[in-house]
Amino acid sequence: MAAYREPKPSTIAVVTLPGTARAVTVVRHWAALVLETDGWTEVDDTLLVVTELAANAVRHTASGRPGGRMEVVLIGEADGLVRVEVADEGAATIPTVGRADWDGLGGRGLRLVSTLAAAWGARLAGRGRTVWALMRLPPAEPVARPADDPCGEHAESH
């Protein structure tokens, strides 16, 4: 019988970091570690989304000021869904998908998020907002393990 590495719906990981560019890199690596350790595959889009949300917290909110912090949460839900949340310390602006500006250097992050995510949104939380995205990841894939070798299977079934 093939073994399946089940993505863990029980994945839940939280990290609080300073609101700096370096922390955005750390968030990406941390998310990769957490998701891959728990058996999630094809996590690239999720890593892109968590990076954009963390970068926005740093760039557009009080989280990016000296002493500012952001909190990043990953939650594995049933049916291959991973919820990504980034809580910031507040801003006068609201997270919105901008109109495509042909010449603009920025303004595409949340457009990417809205394209890649099954759903996304923002809610007021504490002094700031929690911006979240729900990512659909592929179902579990078979993984080889010693018991799967043909001899073992033969011995089991006869």
Positions in the binding site for Mg ion (CB under 5 A): 56, 109
Q: Tell me the residue type at 39.
A: G
Choice between 57 and 82, CB closer to ligand ADP: 57
The one-letter amino acid code at 126 reads G
The candidate with the shortest Cα–Cα distance to 107, out of 93, 121, 119, 118, is 93
Q: Indicate the residue type of 65.
A: R
Q: Output 37 or 115, the one with its CB closest to Mg ion.
A: 115
The item of Mg ion, ligand ADP, none sharing an interface with residue 27, based on CB under 5 to 8 Å by kind, is none
Residue positions counted in the chain: 158
Rg over alpha carbons for the chain, rounded to the nearest Å, is 19
Residues interacting with ligand ADP, by CB under 6 A?
52, 56-57, 59-61, 88, 91, 93-96, 98, 106-111, 129, 131
Q: Least CB distance from residue 26 to ligand ADP, whole Å?
A: 18
- Contacted by 94, from Mg ion, ligand ADP, none: CB < 5 to 8 Å by type: ligand ADP
Q: In angstroms, what is the minimal distance from the CB of 66 to ligand ADP? A: 18
Structure tokens at 78: 């049933």
3-state secondary structure of 24: helix
